[in-house]
Amino acid sequence: MHKRIAVIGECMLEMNLNSDCRSHHSEPRLNAGLSFGGDTLNTALYMSRLGAKVDYVTALGDDHLSDWMLRQWRAEGIGCDLVKRETNASLGLYLIETDGRGERTFHYWRDRAPARRLLDSPQAAKQLFEQLQQFDAVYLSGISLAILSPYGRECLFDFLAKFRQGGGQVIFDGNYRPRLWGSETLTRKAYEQMLRLTDIALPTFEDEQLLFSDKDTNATLTRFRELGVAEIVLKLGGDGCLVVQQNHDPQLVPALKVVPLDTTAAGDSFNAGYLASRLAGNSAEDAAHIGHRLASTVIQHRGAIISKSAMPESPEVI
């Protein structure tokens, strides 16, 4: 029986601006057309492509671009029954500026995006949480937490505690974005509260250093263990990841060495490969290899979502 996972977050319209840092005379170039992306949506989509049963949980507007986005998600096999539609609202937008080394800078227009108000209505939140009880696992990120109102965030924490008590699995990717929070003290408190409710954590060491001033990976892993996280996958960029289960020693799983064109969605796609494999019953080490394989392919293409034809031939994960 396939495990079902609900992914909570925000998806926005995506535009891409390319520039080449190797030449001071190069003018930025805006790619034609629109795409879409968002950390949790990227993970949900790639998980679906790998055969996982995924539903996306968010709020969209009632405009034609929101209609278009929903059609794209359904075509990817993502369940959309839990996507809320808000009247007289439109989507958030982000622009990616990528330099000649594949490193990216993001520019956002998202302050009025409907996903920010997903849990602001007590009645709507109660209905959503009742629907989420049917899932085996819930996945969210630090961005999912950051965009919610303080009230919505506390409602989510209360639900996740009950969800775990009922046997559900909670999965969290820190994905720290300082501009979304405004206060490091508030962020650290929210992350610690979230980690106490987390079964599988997928942090990035660079983010942990930035937010918690961790001196080394041991500091990060120790904090996560003390907060009760049973399975930790600490992402180290091009060096791979450290996998820790229960009280076992960390195991380094190296990444594949490739030359990146655009590192957008590197961590999101790794998470997708890892989780699709783990939810299918594979070992953490095998899951990390699948995550690295997908991520190494994604970063050799521009944008968050690569074409289906560019997907790697992956080992069975279902």
Rounded-to-integer distance, Cα 295 and Cα 129, Å: 31
Which residues have CB under 8 Å from 114's CB, separation 6+? Answer: 59, 60, 61, 84, 86, 89, 91
What is the DSSP-derived secondary structure letter of residue 274? H
- DSSP state, 304? S
> Looking at 39, 55, 214, 268, which residue is catalytic?
268
Distance CA 139, CA 176 (A): 15
Q: Which residue matches tokens 């076992």?
A: 248
Sheet strands (E) in 1-103: 4-8, 12-18, 29-30, 35-37, 53-60, 83-85, 93-98
**268 has catalytic annotation:** yes
Task: Answer whether 136's CB lies under 8 Å from 169's CB.
Answer: yes
Active site residues: 268
